[in-house]
Amino acid sequence: MINPKRVIENKDSLAALKRRGVPAPLLVELKGQYETVRSHTVKLERLYAERNVAAQKKDIVAGKKVKVQIEKAEAERNKETIAFEKVLARIPNIPAPEVPDGKDESGNIEQRTWGAIPEFSFKPKDHIELGGDLDLIDVHRASRVSGSRFSYLKNQAVLLEFGLVRLAFDVLGKEGFHPIVPPVMIRKEIAQKTGYEEAVSETDAFALKNDDSFLVGTSEQSILPYFQDEILLEAQLPYRFVGFSTCFRREAGSYGKDVHGILRQHQFDKVEMFSFCTPEQSNNEHEMLLSMEEKLTQLLELPYRVMLMCLGELAAPQAKKYDIETWLPSQKRYRETHSTSNCTDFQARNFGIRYRTKSGKTEYAHTLNGTAFAIGRVLVALLENHQQKDGSIRIPKALADYVGFSEIKPK
């Protein structure tokens, strides 16, 4: 959730939320509820003071009287606090000033490109044709077993997956990232606190009703709560994780899109970066996560572009987001393969994740996340961009060092 005091007392924050599309009546309601809770808190503080005076004077009659008043006042404040938090939950994060206006992807702004788009002297194949010819991917048998949007990875494709994981862990380990394999199932209350509507939507997430839990759509959802209700030390920050997990998504809003192949699946593996830091470190940390995404993509020799996402492309917890879109020859366009988001203190407030400053004061941490490798999408880009005229696939040297081969030849 947002810091309500920052919104109510800061005109720039109010203007930013209005720019994001938050209705003015909702902001008025937020301010009204905030003032109501604050007035109840002031009343309680006065009653607590009266109770202390009665205790000091050993005035039993006055003590009993103020005790009844306190119980009533606490019940009233708790009731108003619940109402206030319901309003607060409807307010998204305050966007960074540089986030562009826009309702959809047309409002995103290209920051830069890297790498030359490949030119082929032959008609290039898509990844499914390549995967079939080279016995790397089988979606047909997977559909008979599990339905659409599932696949079997086979032979060298399996080695490529684990090579990508090792490459990411080695590169990020040198930057102080701690390796972690998080749970892929989270309780409903945890999913709700992440702030992502899709995390608890049964049309987007896979719900385990008997357990009142959900399968994660990204390991961010289970790494984020690692430090819930804990206080870190400022000297520990930034604290960075690199996690590997299988992820699950219904892809309910993508009917008819990317049905062919493994670009958009119900089950996929991913290496995810996550960082806890101070507000002062937050902006630089976001740029660092983006630089790591670019470094990994460059090691795979894949052409890409960096996009600054507009307001309409931000989920509720995100204050700023970049996407990396990699070139796919079969589609003759860039497609999203990575994203990195700065969620400031929005999620940390939900989970009570704080840090103690050098002066002894406690503050809420900032949380950031970023894709290292979404395995399926990276395999698509690798196969298509590095295919050769004879039907083989060239493996970039950085990855070849991990898998033990520099090309995949036709059978």
How many other CB atoms are there within 10 angstroms of residue 347's CB atom?
28
pLDDT tens-place string over residues 234-277:
999 999 999 999 999 998 655 566 667 889 899 999 999 999 99
Alpha-carbon separation of residue 151 from 125, 248, 350 (angstroms): 19, 13, 36
The verdict on whether 166 is a catalytic residue reads no
How confident is the prediction for the chain on average, in pLDDT? Answer: 94
The verdict on whether 356 is a catalytic residue reads no
Which of 76, 336, 356, 392 is the catalytic position?
Answer: 336
pLDDT over 80 (residue 202): no
pLDDT tens-place string over residues 356-394:
999 999 999 999 999 999 999 999 999 999 999 999 999
Confirm if 136 and 130 have CB atoms less than 8 A apart.
yes
Q: Which DSSP symbol is given to 295?
A: H
Which is higher by pLDDT, 3 or 338?
338
pLDDT tens-place string over residues 106-151:
999 999 999 999 999 999 999 999 999 999 999 999 999 999 999 9
Reading the block at residue 242, the tokens are 């690199």
Alpha-carbon separation of residue 360 from 198, 350, 356 (angstroms): 37, 22, 6
How many other CB atoms are there within 10 angstroms of residue 368's CB atom?
28
Q: Which residues contact 94 (CB under 8 A, 6 or more apart)?
A: 2, 6, 7, 13, 16, 17, 20, 319, 344
Q: Which residues contact 246 (CB under 8 A, 6 or more apart)?
A: 184, 267, 268, 269, 270
Q: pLDDT class for 4, splitting at 50, 70, 90?
A: confident
Which of 19, 51, 187, 264 is the catalytic position?
Answer: 264
CA–CA gap between residue 297 and residue 269 (Å, rounded): 17
Exposed / middle / buried, residue 11 (Cβ in 10 Å: 0-12, 13-18, 19+) = exposed
Reading the block at residue 57, the tokens are 């004077």
Residue type, 63: G
Q: What region does 251 belong to: left with phi over 0, alpha with psi -120 to 50, or beta?
A: left
The verdict on whether 85 is a catalytic residue reads no
pLDDT tens-place string over residues 284-339:
999 999 999 999 999 999 999 999 999 999 999 999 999 999 999 999 999 999 99
Q: Where are the beta strands (DSSP E) in 88-237?
A: 109-114, 137-138, 152-153, 177-180, 185-187, 207-208, 213-215, 231-233
The verdict on whether 105 is a catalytic residue reads no
* pLDDT confidence of residue 259: 67
CA–CA gap between residue 190 and residue 184 (Å, rounded): 12
Q: Among 50-59, 141-150, 198-207, where is mean pLDDT lowest?
A: 198-207
Q: Which residues contact 333 (CB under 8 A, 6 or more apart)?
A: 327
Which of 275, 293, 377, 384 is the catalytic position?
Answer: 377
Q: Which residues pair with 130 in a beta bridge?
A: none
pTM across the whole model: 0.92
Which of 240, 339, 354, 384 is the catalytic position?
Answer: 339
Nearest to 213 by CA among 237, 187, 195, 231: 187
Strands 267-277 and 239-248 come out as: antiparallel
Q: Which residues contact 74 (CB under 8 A, 6 or more apart)?
A: 44
SS3 content of the chain, % helix, strand, coil (to 5): 45, 20, 35
The verdict on whether 339 is a catalytic residue reads yes
Which of 77, 249, 349, 354 is the catalytic position?
Answer: 249
pLDDT over 80 (residue 172): yes
Treating both helix axes as pointing N-terminal to C-terminal, what angle do 11-20 and 24-57 enclose, rounded to 10 degrees?
140
pLDDT over 60 (residue 84): yes
Q: Name the H helices within 256-374.
A: 282-299, 346-351
